Structure 1
Amino acid sequence: MDPERKHNRKPFVGGNFKMNGSRAMLKEIIDRLNTLELKNHVEVVISPPTLYIDQAHKSVREGISIAAQNAFNCTKGAYTGEISPEQLKDVGVDWVILGHSERREIFKEADDFVASKVAHALKCDLKVIACIGEKLEEREANKTEEVVIRQLQAIAKNIDDEKKWEIVVIAYEPVWAIGTGKVATPEQAQEVHVIIRKWLAENVSEKVAQETRIIYGGSVNDANSPELAKQLDIDGFLVGGASLTEKFIKIIECFIPPEDRKSK
């Protein structure tokens, strides 16, 4: 990858473990990650189940950050089962994933609610991986751009300080490709990333458009990641199932020059 072609955006790879794993499994994953030679080539963030955040935070090597899989839009209160951005910051968490399709679909989180959670997290200086993406029927109805922009617009109108975009990563995750084994072709993914960046340029600023990292998620694995990584506007990945396996190392290494890789 030629960094100049990516406007010097540092690649970002996130691992979303979802509701998977155990203490023993988490240790195995982190032991693998702790051997990586990152050398500042790529930013790596892992998102274990909330129960294991403290274990991950204490055992992961310097240079790898922790993300929560969700956060609420309030500081405190009678919200059984919820966790606030302030509490995440208190235990050393750097990032949070918000708006994931599983939250939108299973828990019926609407665009405005997701946007309010993004706004509150950013107010607390918690970095945000903000997810957007269309369902299969929306893609087949040629509504991909409409849906993605609608979700992005809801988030953007809640970010009133342009500097806050420095701690936002946009994750484009076509719902039809999440956990299905299907994956957008590099050309399909690139096309939507261009749409997102163009909208940011026209509605936020050219600076935000060029500096904000837009990553791809949706059945990313070690076989399809190299070609996806070559696309000009794909700045990394949000990885689901493959992040629980040794494949995650290979995906991360897409952004590490061969001479600096541990597994050569």
Structure 2
Amino acid sequence: MTKTLAEARSYAQTVRQALGDGGIPGVQPFVCPPATALAEVARVFRGSPVLVGAQNAHWADGGAWTGELSVPQVADAGADLVEIGHSERREHFAETDEVVRRKVDAALRHGLIALLCCGEPASTFAAGRSVPHVLAQVESALGGVNDVEDLSRVVIAYEPVWAIGEHGRPAEPAEVAEVHAALADRWPGVRAVLHGGSVNRVNAPRLLELPGVDGVFVGRAAWRAEGFLELLDLARRETAERR
């Protein structure tokens, strides 16, 4: 819940000017602006390599859901993807695994990319139960997705709940390596698996080196356009080294 319309427009214009139309080979940038700025940010990035996502959408195509936005509506506003199941929505808005599954189905049904968030709380991590917890979340959301094309439009964002937000503790690569390896092994057909949770320009290179990590999902460190561009440059260098 950051940025006015003018601030979001300025952010998008700065990034668009820096990246141009060609983008960065091997790197897929995306941004998820607030709903009030979705259409304008999509307009600025039209024709560029930057994908634009909605931070949330309802599972129904329409109806008496006052205050909600449907997948067709966010697609009409220019969204390429929909963020689904973020831990803040699970915690504060009581989104269950069943709700997340319905939203994933809606996004895929309308041809959008489903950005599926998953992650374990601190107590589960401390108990050594991170892998089964996260796999169960993803299985609940994707267990019914059997079509190869549909699966290729799913991006999994693993964000340990204890690493998210202002008071989160950035994860050490060794603490999350097992979860990423398990996700990569169980869901090889997805578009990408990202790591999120207090990602910044210092820890991003080490996280990107982990097997099974295709990219990063960044919050506060990318709130400024300059910070986002710095992280994209880190991703460019990591991609070049892999080649």
Same fold judged by TM-score > 0.5? yes
Residue 9 (structure 2) pairs with residue 27 (structure 1): yes
Over 3 Å counting, the alpha-carbon distance change for 1:77 and 1:88 in structure 2 is same
RMSD between aligned residues: 1.7
Distance in 2, Cα, partners of 1:210 & 1:126 = 16
User: 1:257: how far off?
Assistant: 3.6
AA of the residue aligned to 1:217: G
User: Using the alignment, how far apart are the partners of 2:158 and 2:200 within structure 1?
Assistant: 16
1:213 paired with 2:157, answer no
**Residue identity opposite 2:200 in structure 1:** N
Mapped to 2, the partners of 1:243 and 1:42 lie a distance apart of: 16
**Compared with structure 1, are the counterparts of its residues 211 and 121 closer, same or farther at alpha carbon in structure 2 (3 Å cutoff)?**
closer
Counterpart residue number, 2:108: 122
- What's the offset of the Cα at 1:122? 0.4
Deviations 1:199-246 (A, max 9, x none): 23xxxxxxxx16541100000111111111122211111111112122
Whole-angstrom CA distance in 1 between matches of 2:5 and 2:189: 39
Q: Structure 1: which 5+ runs fail to align?
A: 1-18, 201-208
> Is the Cα–Cα contact under 8 Å of residues 99 and 130 in structure 1 kept in the other structure?
yes
Map Cα deviations across residues 106-139 of structure 1 (whole Å, 9 max, x no partner): 0010111101110111011111110000001111
Deviations 1:42-101 (A, max 9, x none): 111110100111110111261111100001111110001111111122222110000100
Deviation at 1:150, TM superposition (A): 1.1
**2:50 is aligned with 1:50:** no
* Equivalent residue letter for 1:102: E
Q: Which runs of 4+ in 1 moved over 6 A?
A: none
Q: Contact 1:226–1:251 (CA<8 Å) still a contact in 2? A: no
Q: Tell me the residue number matched to 1:252.
A: 232
Matches for 1:53-202 after TM superposition, within 5 Å: 53-60=38-45, 62-179=48-165, 180-200=167-187
Kept in 2, the 8 Å contact 1:99–1:132? The answer is yes
CA distance, structure 2, for counterparts of residue 171 and residue 218 of structure 1? 10
The C-alpha deviation readout for 1:19-45, integer Å capped at 9, x for no partner, is 011123213321331102633321111
What amino acid is the match of 1:86? P
1:222 alignment counterpart: 201
- Deviation (angstroms), 1:248: 1.6
In structure 2, C-alpha distance between the alignment counterparts of 1:210 and 1:127, rounded to whole Å: 14
Q: Is residue 152–residue 189 contact of structure 2 (8 Å, CA) maintained in 1? A: no
Give the deviation of 1:146 after TM superposition: 2.0
- In the other structure, the counterpart of 1:231 is 210
Distance of 1:159 and 1:223 partners within structure 2: 36
Superposition TM-score, scaled by structure 1 size: 0.83
The 1:214–1:123 alpha-carbon spacing in structure 2 relative to 1, beyond 3 Å, is same
Give, in whole Å, the separation in 2 of the partners of 1:155 and 1:139: 21
Closer/same/farther in 2, CA of residues 143 and 221 from structure 1, 3 Å limit: same
> Which amino acid in structure 1 is aligned with residue 172 of structure 2?
T
Q: Is the 8 A contact 1:45 1:66 kept in 2?
A: yes
Aligned identity (percent) is 33
1:172 shift after superposition: 0.2
- The answer to whether the 8 Å contact 1:222/1:248 transfers is no
Task: Output the CA distance in 2 between the equivalents of 1:161 and 1:129.
Answer: 17
Number of equivalenced pairs: 233
Instruction: Indicate the structure whose relative CO is greater, using CA pairs within 8 Å and at least 6 residues apart.
Output: 1
